[in-house]
Structure formats: structure tokens, C-alpha cells
A = this chain, B = another copy of it.
Amino acid sequence: MKADILQVAVSEFSVKGLSGTRIDEIARRTATSKRMIYYYFGDKLGLYREALESEYRRAREGEGEIDFSGLDPVDALRRLVEFTFDFHREHPDFVAMIAHENTQDAVHLAQSEAIRKLNQGAVKQVGEIYAEGVRRGHFRPGLEPVRLHWTISALCFYNVSNRHSFSAGFGDTIHSEAGQEEHRRFVVDLVMRAVMSNSQSAEISRFVSQEREEPCSPADKCPHPPLR
């Protein structure tokens, strides 16, 4: 019941934002009544806060799932970027709510504890991979983990948050289903190029747009095989 309300609330808030969302509209779309919304959440802001946190909880759930066991830093970073890319695509409401928050100085985000923890975890994760990569000589030193995390976030977030305006301006080359598969490789490649030590970048980073390449043959030597 509460969960039902929250789900509808998220879908409304993610589109209209806090002040644009109507409680009556949420009630209408819910199996329950407006009365219950106030019963459970007190008022509109209470509902908003819980909706925001519930999205963060869902986000955090998936976070620990990545299995880096047996991966060297280069592959681990690849996988981390792939995961982040996929995660954002799978949670457009999460992305949209954060976008709304930012247009209002992220005041409600800033008040919540849950967020800080989630983010800290993400930076720690990328920091460990990066440090190990530097130790082994694959990654160039001198980058801050937080900036590396920023880069991954920026690319993966924007890919979802701005997909409509970008498609409207440039067609759906990038945002079609097929386009996203290629774009995912491109984003991974961007991050790899950002961190690889210069001496090694040539052999690791090799994304080029597929339509400009000859098909690979033999296929098992293809430098950019389909992912998963």
C-alpha cells in the first residue's frame, strides 16, 4: 500500500517536480485514496522526501552487486563504467528526480543522510580500482578519485537525463537501442583513455564508430566484441 503510493509518487515527482506535482493526481492513480496519503506521509513534502529516499535505496541495492573478483584494475574499471552506464539507463526516474533537485539547489538531497553514504561508497570503489591500477603501472598517477567518479557520473547521467533534448536535436543515432550499445562502448572507452598511462593507451583504448569500420574478420579477433 505504502509502496504503491511511493511508486506512483516517484513517477509523478520525477516528471513534474515537487511544486508541479498534484497530490490529487497521485491519489487518482493509486489504488488507495488521498486520505491515505496524508495518513501515511503527513503532507506533500513528507511524501516527496520519502519518494526521494526510496529511489536512493533502490539505487544502493544494486550497488554492491558488481563482482570484481579476479579482475585486474583495467577490466574492473571497465566493468564499473558499464555498470554505472546500465544503472542510469534502468532508473530514469531516479535520474529525473535528481535533475529536479538540482534546479532547486538540491536542498532536499542535501538534508538526507542516505545520499552521502551512497556517494561515498561509489567514490571509494573507483578509488580502490584506480589506486591498484596506478600501482601496477596501467593508470597514470595524479588523478583524484572524486574527479574520476565525476567523469563516469557525468557521462552516464547525461546519457539518460538529456536523451530527449539530444534526440530532438540530432535524431536517435545515439539513443536508439542499437545506438546505445555502441555508445556504451564509447563511454567506456572515454573513461579508459582518461586514466590509462600514455604509454599503454594505444593498446587498450580503441573505440571507433562501427559504421565507419570494416566488419571484423575473423570475428574472434574483433577488438570491440559485443558486451555481455
Contact = CB atoms under 8 A, between A and B. Distances in A.
Determine chain A's interface SS by DSSP, over half rule.
Answer: helix
Nearest to A146: B170
A146 B209 CA distance: 11
Contact of A154 (B109, B141, B147, B155): B155
Contacts of A104: 15-16
Contacts of A194: 189-190, 193
Contacts of A143: 208-209
A150 interface: yes
A59 to B, nearest CB: 12
Interface stretch (A1-9, A40-48, A62-70, A94-102): A94-102
B161 A102 contact: yes
Interface string A160-200: 01111111111001100000000100100110011000110
A118 to B, nearest CB: 8
Nearest to A157: B158
Contacts of A118: 169
Interface string A122-159: 01000000000000000011111011011101110111
